Structure 1
Amino acid sequence: MLGFGLAIEPQLWALLFVMVRVGAAFVAAPVFGNVSVPVQVRVALSGAVAILVLGTNTIAVPPTVFALSTFLSVAAEALVGLALGFVVQIAFAAPLVAGEIIGGSMGIGFASMMDPTTGRSSPAVSQFLSILLTLLFLSLDGHLVLVDMVAKSYRALPPGAAWMTAGQMRDIAMFGGYAFLAGLLLALPVGFLLLCQNIVMGMLSRSAPALNLFSVGLPASLAVGVVTLGIALPAMGDYMQVIVREGLAAAQSLVLLTTGGF
């Protein structure tokens, strides 16, 4: 019942109720939440996953639509879905931090372009690393793992008992520091060599005061950064795989309070 003497199909109401958690996860998660993904595609994917969940789990939906308990249940479902997607999105912020460090050291921090995932302007180096991380995420079947995690969340956090504790919220907030740590480690190979290059340029400026650092230092920093980035790219790709696995593992442990390997 809707609550005003009006009836609604139980199957349709169950589908819409399950789509709340799934849709919230897709809105906050990487790849699914990109602005380039049409809303119609997200709704269709949410409906498809919701049908899968209804076929594999017994979902107890609220009996009345327009009721305070129903609104609270819907809010709890949306919170769980947003938390699942947001934790993985935190890991995807690491390339942005690394790109800021590398771009600033190379002297091209002003070079920016439109980010298709967010629709906002971001540094070109950050954009390059973000695209690389997204491709690795898809190649490692991270999107399938995320969908499987959302489906399994109905067993770990069934509707009606899906309220997240204050400790979980605190742990998710503390996981935000992982983005800065991972970004620093990701930029370490290139950033260290650029730091050494800046030290050498500083020594040259002290020994030869007539040397124009703007005409020599910027091209040298750009050349060293591009060459070092190409050499360190395989190692950075390996660490990006670690970032993907850490993000998925954190979503499972912090939100679902379960552990497992990916």
Structure 2
Amino acid sequence: MNYMLEHFNLFVLVSLRIVAFVAASPLISMNIWPTWAKIGFAFGLAYVVAPNISSPVPDVTTDPGQFIVTGVLEAVVGLILGFITTLIFSAISFAGQAVDIQIGFSMAQMVAPGSTIPTGILGTFYNMLFSLYFLGMGGLDGMMMAILQSYSFIHIGQMHLPTDFPAMLLHLTGLVMSMGVELATPLLASLFLSDVTFAFMSRAVPQMNVFVVGLPVKLFAGLAMFALVMPGVIYVFNRIFLFLFSQLQVVLQAMGG
């Protein structure tokens, strides 16, 4: 407590970056965690990292304008890092929603745990499976190390966005979409072949009700293919996991100059 009072300006600026990161990043910002726990977690990290920072910071009493500007920059850094993490996580949701639409699970949507966004059954399962994989591989520790190491790349108040930052985000979005498609391709292909098969059968046997017969068959084919490609799903999970931290490193280097 004495340290926080003696270095109040530094502690507040460090806390702003970490609080913004916690508020914008996946898993940590989930609604299932109490707000007081997330705030305490963020201030705890700030208390750990603040003594290791020697950068000069403006004083809130003598230079309040510069202090506010620096605080806004610190919050922007945390929000950008959290947004990048959330964007890469969205590859899982994209794959799950694409499969749910084709298999028919999107008709029975549910609210994903910790979110207010309606998600299909497989979409929720994909998210839960990747979250468990992410936690099991130490992803939460990696995210905390990324925000702590960000002060080595971006000193307090020294953040600047490169001129090609929008292009970087656009390129990153394309890569995220491609990984989502790669994750969903085996199931989408099997469901497409099922649709083609039933299209030929409906021409050969017009009396058959394709909708009544096809829906359970597509469900069975999709679930069977999902079980068969599970090793490949874990492989893609690993690629997304490594891609997340490599992109955080790229973004830190870009904003730190």
Q: TM-score, normalised by structure 1?
A: 0.90
Residue equivalent to 2:32: 36
Q: For each residue in 1:189-214, what CA deviation from the matched residue of structure 2 results, as whole angstroms up to 9, or x when unmatched?
A: 11111111111111111111111011
Q: Give the aligned partner of residue 73 of structure 2.
A: 76
Comparing both structures, which one devotes a greater share of its residues to helix? Answer: 2
1:48 aligned to 44, 49, 72, which one?
A: 44
Per the alignment, do residues 117 and 245 of structure 1 end up closer, same or farther by CA in structure 2, a change over 3 Å counting? Answer: farther
How many residue pairs align between the two structures? 251
Greater mean alpha carbon deviation, residues 205-214 or residues 112-121: 112-121
Among candidates 122, 127, 131, match of residue 130 of structure 1: 127
Secondary structure of 2:59's counterpart equals coil
SS of the counterpart of 1:109?
A: helix
Unaligned runs of 5+ in 2: none
Offset at residue 117 of structure 1 (A): 2.7
Superposition CA RMSD, Å? 1.8
After TM superposition, the structure 1 = structure 2 runs for residues 192-207 of structure 1, keeping only pairs within 5 Å, are 192-207=189-204
In the alignment, which of 95, 104, 107 is matched to residue 107 of structure 1? Answer: 104
Please tell me whether residue 163 in structure 1 is matched to residue 126 in structure 2.
no
Q: Structure 2 length normalisation: TM-score?
A: 0.91
Give matches, 1:1-262, under 5 Å.
9-64=5-60, 67-257=64-254
Work out whether residues 97 and 179 of structure 1, in 8 Å CA contact, stay in contact via their aligned partners in 2: no
Q: Distance in 2 between matches of 1:143 and 1:46?
A: 13
Question: Retained in 2: the 8 A contact 1:29–1:85?
Answer: yes
Task: Describe the shift of the 1:81–1:256 C-alpha distance in structure 2 as closer, same or farther (beyond 3 A).
Answer: farther
Is the Cα–Cα contact under 8 Å of residues 161 and 254 in structure 2 kept in the other structure? no
Identity of aligned residues (%): 22
Distance 2:92 2:157 in 1: 37
Alignment partners' CA distance in 1, 2:30 and 2:246: 22
Q: Distance in 2 between matches of 1:125 and 1:49?
A: 35
Deviation at 1:239, TM superposition (A): 0.6
Question: Secondary structure at the residue paired with 1:190?
Answer: helix
Give the C-alpha shift of residue 179 in structure 1.
2.6
SS of the residue 1:61 aligns to: coil
Deviations 1:211-253 (A, max 9, x none): 1011111011011011111111221122112112111211110
| Off by >4 Å, runs of 4+ in structure 1 | none
